[in-house]
Amino acid sequence: MTHLIPGNHITLLQNGEAYFPAIISAFELAEHEIYLESYIFEDDATGQRVAEALKHAAKRGVKTHVLVDGFGSKNLPQSMIDSMSDAGVRVLKFRPKISPWTFRRQRLRRLHRKIVVVDQEIAFVGGINIIDDMDTPGHTPPRYDYAVAVEGPLVGIIHAAVRHVWSLVSWTHLHQGWLRDRGVPVSSVAKGTMRAAFLVRDNLRHRRDIEEAYLSAIEKAQTEIIIANAYFLPGISFRHALTEAAARGVRVILLLQGRVEYLLLHYASRALYGNFLEAGIEIYEYHKSFMHAKVAVIDGHWATVGSSNIDPFSLLLSREANVVVENKEFAGALRQNLLQSMETGSRPVLKISWKRQFMLTRLVSWLSYGLVRFMMGVAGYAREKNNEKI
């Protein structure tokens, strides 16, 4: 059961246009410490702006920590890492060994979280990487994505989770000296009236926390479920929960990726369209730009924003982080934003049109779906019993 913490103020941030100025402003105001986790940290105009803000903070004595994923940030040049390190920024890579010639579980367990914590006063959680979301060659920018700014007692919980992973990675990199910081005292002062929870997915005690929060909210839904997800390939429990909700009269709306970014996942997810449409579930595909969102609103009062897709890679492999908010005002704002995006940037997938599509298209979708499930089975993810620290 999701444990909601009262006394928070949560601000919705859409796209990098809102997110990057917010985190850079927080870096400029930092007095004690900064933690940044990102799957991708790119050496582009946005990455350089963020890096400069981090370096300025470190130079004035702020303990500054950057943790990036070894695969997602494999193109981050050593010169950029050295530049940050020379300024006093502590930079680590999560699972830096990414040999393409080995198909090992631990190599595919990635740090997919996008989190920033500053002075335990404010935290940012969402799906936005450190990358220029206006640089989308051949497509209309920006990438469609969300994050939240969190103020209040929940920040202390987010800080503890980030610090825990930093400590694990520091130990594996033999940077024991980076583990001695006492950190900033935890503040439990209320900053608002919103109840919220911070959920993670890891490979130890929190393997299904995010998925179970979704399932619990879906099973309790009475009027409406809106899920916007870039890579949507749910397991059988999730599919059943959605179809059962639709069967009891709940309006279920899926806003999914319409542009092809990862060919196999794109066609695999479309294999499920027929069953969803038959169940009365509405499907919209977002075509205006690349969609990277991972959010949901249920019954106008429950909402989640985070890094977790509803696919095997997020739900069974990666480290993920979502914030759940129980608040009508916040959920209403996100719902209105999603409905507007559906109206201005997406196209409905109609059941009659779906039935008339070429048989070859259906065959490619089901073959892609089977291949994804086969890959997961061969790697043994469903049967994985080992408890890995990182």
134: three-class secondary structure by DSSP: coil
Which of 119, 175, 181, 206 does the annotation list as catalytic? Answer: 119
Place of tokens 């997919």: 112
Is 93 known to be catalytic?
A: no
Is 112 known to be catalytic?
A: yes
Is 164 known to be catalytic?
A: no
Is 355 known to be catalytic?
A: no
Q: What angle do CA 341, 268, 352 make, to 5 degrees?
A: 65
Is 145 known to be catalytic?
A: no
Place of tokens 């300024």: 87
Place of tokens 């002075």: 119
Place of tokens 């004035």: 60
Which of 63, 93, 114, 159 does the annotation list as catalytic? Answer: 114
| Cβ pair 105, 384 in contact under 8 A | yes
Which of 55, 63, 294, 311 does the annotation list as catalytic? Answer: 294
Is 55 known to be catalytic?
A: no
Which of 133, 145, 299, 311 does the annotation list as catalytic? Answer: 299
Which of 63, 112, 159, 191 does the annotation list as catalytic? Answer: 112
Classify residue 375 by burial, with Cβ atoms within 10 Å: 0-12, 13-18, 19+: middle
Q: What angle do CA 104, 109, 111 make, to 5 degrees?
A: 150
Place of tokens 């926390």: 209
Query: For 44, what's the count of Cα atoms within 13 Å in the CB-facing half-sphere?
Result: 14
Give phi and psi for 178, each to the nearest 5.
Answer: -80, 0
Spatial distance between the Cα atoms of 382 and 168, rounded to a whole number of angstroms: 25
Hey, which residues are catalytic here? 112, 114, 119, 292, 294, 299
